[in-house]
Structure formats: C-alpha cells, structure tokens
Chain A
Amino acid sequence: MRWVLAIAWLIFLFSIPLWLDNLYFLHILIITGIFIIAAMSLNLLLGYTGQLSLGQVAFFGIGAYASSLTSLGFSFHILPNTVVSLEPKPVWFAMLMGVLFASLCGWLIGKISFKVRGAYFVIVTVSFAEVVRLVALNWLELTQGPMALNNIPYLRLGFPGLGEIAFIGKVPNYYLVLVVAILTYVIIQRLVYSRVGRAMIALRENEPLATSVGVDVTRVLVFATMLSAGLAGLAGAIYAQYVRIVDPDIFLFIYTVTMVIMVVTGGKGTLAGPVVGGLIFGILPEVLRGFEVMPEVQWIVYGVLMILIVYFLPAGIVPAMRAWLPGQAGHRKERDDESRAAAEMRS
C-alpha cells in the first residue's frame, strides 16, 4: 500500500513538467524543492539530534558561494604581495567543492556544539551565519560584496547514451532538484533506521542514558552537523547554478526562519515533515498572490496559517495525519517518534 502510494507520488512529480506549461510556476517548484532539501538537512539536526541550528542558511550560502567561486575562478591577496588564485573549474566539481566546504564548516560547528547545547548552540549558529554574511558582504576582492557574483556557469553533465545535458532553463533544473531531493530523502531515511540514526535520536531523548550505553556524543553530533551542512551546501550549490547570481542576501536570517517553519509545521523528526511543510509554505505565497489581494494581506494569511498549524498540531502536520488515518500499525516505529514529539511540545 505504502509502496503504491510512493510510486504514484513519484510518477506525479516526474510528470509535472510534461503537463505544466506555466514556466513561472515551474520556477516556484524548483525554488520550493531547493528549500525542501535545505529543510530536510535542518530536520536531521533539529528533528533527530534535537539541536536547533538557526544558522542553517550559512551552510546553504557557503555551498552557493564556494561552488560559484570554484566554477568562476577567483584570485585574492592574503598578503600584500601574495595572491591565491584558482582557474575556473567544471561546474560538477565546483558543486562538489561547495558540498565539501559546507561540510567542513559543519564539522567546525559540530566540534563547538560538543561544548555548547540548547540555547547556546542556537546562538553559536546564528552568530556564525551573521559572520559569514558580513564576510560575503565585505570581502570585495573575493565575493564582490553587494555587487554579487554574476554569470555563474550552469551545470553540464555527460550521461552515457544521452550525451551531454546542460542544466539551463526550468525543465532540466526541475529534474535535477527532484532527483537530489529524492536522494536526500533516501539517505536520511536509511540513516534514521540505522545504528547512527538511533544514536542521534538517543541523544535527543536522553543524553546521559545514551552515553551510558556507549554513544559517543561528540562523534554523533559532529557527524550529524557535517552531513546536515553538506546537504544544505548541496542545496545552495544547486541554487547558485540555477539562478546564476549569488549575493550576500542569500545569508538573510529570514531564509533560516523559512526552513524552520517548514520543518516544524510539517513535523520535526519525521521523514515526510519537511517535504509537506516545504510544499505548503513554498507554494502558499504564490497561491495567495493568485487571489490578487494586497501583499500585506498575503503575509497576514501566511502568518495566521502558521500559527494555527503550530497551535492545533503542535507535533506538525505529518504526525497529525498519521493519527487520523487508520491502519498504520505496521509503522508503529515512526508513530512512536511522533507521539514523543507531541509529548515534548505539550510539556
């Protein structure tokens, strides 16, 4: 039953560009998809290890900047007469660099998070994102600051039998985002139902008990943060080669907030939560725009809906839907995760 549903969903998602001829709406779906990947990466930290990273956008932006700079090439002075420079590299390699560099930053933040938890972790991540934004804004020689990085090359990939595909325009990018989102989902799913995922959940549930059965807190948190940062960086790298312009506004706090809203309303600590929350809050603004009301009204509706969801479904939409739908006994494990989330929200 579950399989049939999943396949039906996949067919639907893959068929969208075939019947949707509104390119603007396809653009919205691409951007929503990129945000969903970022939201899934945030969910890994917030939902499974229980650490709220309010600097997720930093990893997203670092991925975007690092991949753009690698594909454009750069040169800057570290000393008055010492220049570091890089020739332009292929985009796939640049994107890989974006992921690796974001992971490296995640590793750093993870190392710090060994010392600080909870509110302090939030502060560290927020500050990190702000520092990175200021660097991007002021390091003119490298990032061109507010003038932005322009003309970022798009991705070209050679496929056996298909020749080279250039990811320019909406349709190829839609498929790129879709495939990466599915892979991200599968990777997180595999992790959650493994020894590593259980260790993350154990830390969220009861850290002293987790360590008493041998869970290495530092290792698990560093790994989770690295992976989360890498996935956010991947989303950023895709974003950069799609919109082909990156400026320091990519680090704005509002984007982190958007990711948090997607995760929390959808259901943190559930696999489908960020996807459902992401679809709702990614597409909603466009739907509201369709009603041709004033922008203020749009934002008020957006805010009210968010408050209503959080107020009436504290664990998120996905857990609430599971509770309504009967015959899910086979998926008790997931349900348990969610009832816990609900209990946590009430207390």
Chain B
Amino acid sequence: MSGEAVVLAIEDLSIRFGGLIAVEQLTFDVREGEVLSLIGPNGAGKTSAFNAITGYIPASGGSIVYRGTRLNGMKPNEIAARGVVRTFQKTSVFGGLSVFDNVLTGLHLRGRQHPFAIMLGLPRVWRDEKRLRRETEEILHLIGLERLAFETAASLPYGKLRLLEVAVALAAKPTLLLLDEPVSGMNPAETAEFMKLVARIRELGVTILLVEHDMKMVMGVSDRVVCLNQGRAIAVGPPAAIQRDPEVIRAYLGERYLRAQG
C-alpha cells in the first residue's frame, strides 16, 4: 500500500488543555485505502488526536489536511460532510430509537429534502424517504443487524451495540472512517467477527484510521501502525516491525508481550 496517495496529512499537530500537553508535534499520514492504527499507552494522545481531526476539540498548532482541504477550525458536521466520520470511545448510539432509525438518522447527509417540501408533503420527499430506507436496509445487511432492525438500540447486547455504532457511521458514507477502540469490551469471538467487518468495510474503498488496545486486532487488520507515547509518534511502520521495535516495547507493549508472542 506504500505507493498509494496520502489522503489525510497530519503535520506538527499539537493539542494543549491549559498547561497539559496531550499531543505534541505529531506528524503522520494516512494513505488511500489502508488501515492505519494508532497505538500507545493510555494518555498518549490517541483520542485527542481523533477529536482534533474530527473537529471536536481545537488543535493548538499544526495542520490537518484531508484530500487538500484544511480541516482545522471546521465544525464536526462540516468535517463529516467531507467524508471524515468517526465513532466514539464510549459507546454512542441514539439509545431511544430503533436500530433501523439509528441508521436512517445516520443517513442525514444523504437526504435531499427541503423543509418546505417536507411541510407541503411533496412526492419527491416521499421518494427520497423510500430511497433512504432502502439504503438503511443495505447497511443493516452489510453489518449483519437486519434481524434486529426494530429493536430499541438501548436494549441491544454490548457487542451488537458496537456494531450499530459502526453502522451509523457508515451511513454517513465516509471515505475515511475513524474507529475509536471499537472492540474494547468485546469477547474474542466478537472481536474476530469485527475484524471480518473491518475487511468488508475496506472492500468498499473506505480508508480506516483505528485507535485500539487489542493487539491481536491491530496486528491482524492494520497495514501500518503509528505508536504514540506522551503525545509524540515514536514509531511508524508495518505491524511486524512495530512489534519488534525496542522503543515501542519499552513504552507500550512490554517485555511480557514480546515473550508471549514467542
């Protein structure tokens, strides 16, 4: 994948909360069609970087450029409209709505309905709704949630809830999907299922930026891995190289991990 074009370029990104430095001069890029993982110990700045890329917190310095557009200073919904869509570390769905309506709501950017046309009840609004419902069914099918379509989201088991989050994000038709610890709290079987889902999403041509602590998942799905420590990137490379990188082992993986891998 190394020959592919850079789609997201992060340069000298710094994020400060008052005196606390969360991310400092972080530079990395994401290439078209790849799965790039951010790893690192808690507090390394992974989620902060996510939040800055998607506009939830302002960057204190540096630049975030997606396909030639500078994202710094944009609102989250504007960034989403440019194809950069995220999930959240803490499970986040529209709890009171059905699974179907969750995804239908996620299709917000795909809808073409003017408020006045809606109020007048014009047929084109009705046709648009029908199209959106069809797309919702397709997404539910892709994720494998179609049998739960009419369950209330809040009543889903944890593993399904995490799938629903991805379904809602996919509904926004991302070209770059940011997944924040999607398999945390999942059991190994669910994680294995999720890895297959990541492969299916990739096949749709979606580039994926992943934050994850589950090393099996990271090593299994990533093309490249960036390891962060104390707000800085300490290593970048293919999973196999990262696994053996002495600095990564010292800062994050630990000697025990190395021995367990043989």
Q: Are B98 and A202 in contact (CB under 8 A)?
A: no
Q: Which residues of B contact A216 (CB under 8 A)?
A: 75, 77
When the two chains form their complex, are residues B108 and A215 in contact, meaning their CB atoms are under 8 A apart? yes
The minimal Cβ–Cβ distance linking B133 to chain A, given in whole angstroms, is 11
The residue in chain B whose Cβ has the minimal distance to the Cβ of A199 is B108
B211 sits at the interface (CB 8 A): no
From residue 150 to 165 of chain B, which have CB atoms closer than 8 A to chain A? 150, 152, 154
Query: CB-CB < 8 A to A186: which residues of B?
Result: 121
Please tell me if the beta carbons of A209 and B118 are within 8 angstroms of each other in the complex: no
Nearest chain A CB to B181 CB, angstrom units: 15
B residues less than 8 Å from A206 (CB atoms): 92-95
Q: Which residues of A contact B94 (CB under 8 A)?
A: 201-202, 205-206, 209-210
Complex CA distance for A242 and B146, rounded to whole angstroms: 53
Chain A interface bracket (under 10, 10 to 19, 20 to 34, 35 or more) = 20 to 34
Verify if B129 is at the interface (C-beta below 8 Å from A): yes
Interchain CB contact under 8 A, B152 and A214: no
Say whether B101 contacts A208, CB under 8 Å. no
Are A212 and B96 in contact, CB atoms less than 8 angstroms apart? no
Neighbouring B residues of A75 by C-beta, 8 Å: none
Say yes or no: is A2 at the interface (Cβ < 8 Å to chain B).
Answer: no
Contacts of B101 in A (CB 8 A): 198, 333, 336
Contacts A205-B97, A213-B172, A214-B85 known; list 17 others, CB within 8 Å. A190-B119, A194-B125, A195-B132, A201-B94, A202-B105, A206-B93, A206-B95, A209-B88, A209-B93, A211-B76, A211-B77, A212-B88, A212-B172, A213-B85, A213-B109, A333-B98, A340-B154
Query: Contact check: which of B56, B96, B152 meets A344 at CB < 8 Å?
Result: B96
Q: Which of A193, A198, A212 has the most CB of B within 10 A?
A: A212
Residue ranges of A at the interface with B (Cβ–Cβ < 8 Å): 186-187, 190-191, 193-196, 198-199, 201-202, 205-206, 208-217, 223, 332-333, 336-337, 339-341, 343-344
Partner of A211, one of B75, B93, B125, B171: B75
Q: How far is the CA of A339 from the CA of B95 in the complex (A)?
A: 10
Kindly state whether residue B111 has any CB partner on chain A within 8 Å. Answer: yes
Q: Does B213 contact A (CB under 8 A)?
A: no
Is B104 interfacial (CB 8 A cutoff)?
A: yes
| A residues less than 8 Å from B121 (CB atoms) | 186, 190
Chain B interface, number of residues (Cβ within 8 angstroms): 42
Residue contacts A-B, CB under 8 angstroms, 6 given: A202-B108, A206-B94, A212-B77, A212-B85, A212-B86, A213-B172
Q: A344 vs B96: C-alpha distance in the bound complex, in angstroms?
A: 9
- Are the C-beta atoms of A339 and B96 separated by less than 8 Å? yes
- Of B80, B105, B121, chain A has the most CB atoms within 10 Å of the CB of B105
Q: Mark B99-133, 1 if CB is under 8 A from A, else 0.
A: 00100111111010101001101000100110010
Q: Max chain A CB contacts within 10 Å: which of B54, B56, B94, B104?
A: B94
Q: Are A213's CB and B56's CB within 8 A?
A: no
Smallest Cβ distance from B164 to chain A, in angstroms? 11
B101 to chain A, nearest CB (A): 7
With most chain B CB atoms within 10 A of its CB, the pick from A186, A191, A215 is A215
Smallest CB gap from B120: residue in A:
A190
Cβ contacts under 8 Å, B38 to chain A:
none
Q: Annotate B68-83 by CB proximity to A: 1 below 8 A, 0 otherwise.
A: 0000000111001100
B169 within 8 A of A: yes
Q: How far is the CA of A209 from the CA of B96 in the complex (A)?
A: 13
Rounded to whole angstroms, the CA-CA distance of A195 and B117 in the bound complex is 11
Report yes or no: A213 in contact with B119, Cβ–Cβ below 8 A: no
A190, A202, A214, A343 — most chain B CB neighbours (10 Å)? A214
Looking at A208, A209, A213, A340, the one whose CB has the most chain B CB atoms below 10 A away is A213
Give min CB distance, A241 to chain B, whole Å. 24
Query: Of A190, A198, A344, which is within 8 A of B105 by CB?
Result: A198
Cβ–Cβ contact A196 & B118, under 8 A: yes
Residues of chain B with a CB closer than 8 A to A202's CB? 94, 105, 108
Note all chain B residues with C-beta closer than 8 A to A333. Answer: 98, 101
Kindly identify which residue among B96, B104, B118 contacts A205, using a CB–CB cutoff of 8 Å: B96
Q: Is B168 an interface residue (CB 8 A)?
A: yes
Of A193, A196, A205, A217, which one neighbours B115 at CB under 8 angstroms?
A196
- A45 to B245: give the CA distance in the assembly, Å: 55
B47 to chain A, nearest CB (A): 13
Within the complex, the shortest CB–CB distance from B127 to chain A, in Å, comes to: 12
Residues of A within 8 A of B118 (CB): 190-191, 194-196
Q: Chain B nearest CB: distance from A162 CB in Å?
A: 24
Q: In chain A, what residue has the closest Cβ to B90?
A: A208
Question: For A194, A202, A211, A341, which residue has the most chain B Cβ atoms within 10 angstroms?
Answer: A194
The distance from the CB of A17 to the nearest CB of chain B, in whole angstroms, is 28
Give 8 closest A-B pairs by Cβ, nearest first.
A340-B96, A195-B111, A214-B80, A214-B109, A205-B94, A211-B76, A213-B172, A194-B118
Contact B172 A339 (CB under 8 A): no
Across the interface, A208 reaches (CB within 8 A) one of B85, B92, B97, B105, namely B92
CA distance A174 to B28 in the complex (A): 68
Q: A195-B111, A198-B108, A340-B152 are in contact. Are A212 and B97 (CB under 8 A)?
A: no
Q: How far is the CA of A201 from the CA of B97 in the complex (A)?
A: 9
B residues near A213, Cβ cutoff 8 Å: 80, 85, 105-109, 168-169, 171-172
Residues of A contacting B129 in the complex (Cβ-Cβ under 8 angstroms): 193-194
Given the complex, which residues of A lie within 8 Å of B168, measured CB to CB? 209, 213
State in angstroms the CA–CA spacing of A201 and B106 once bound together. 12
**Is B77 a contact of A214 with CB atoms below 8 Å?**
yes
CA A340 – CA B87 in complex, angstroms?
22
- Residues on B with C-beta less than 8 A from A199 are 105, 108
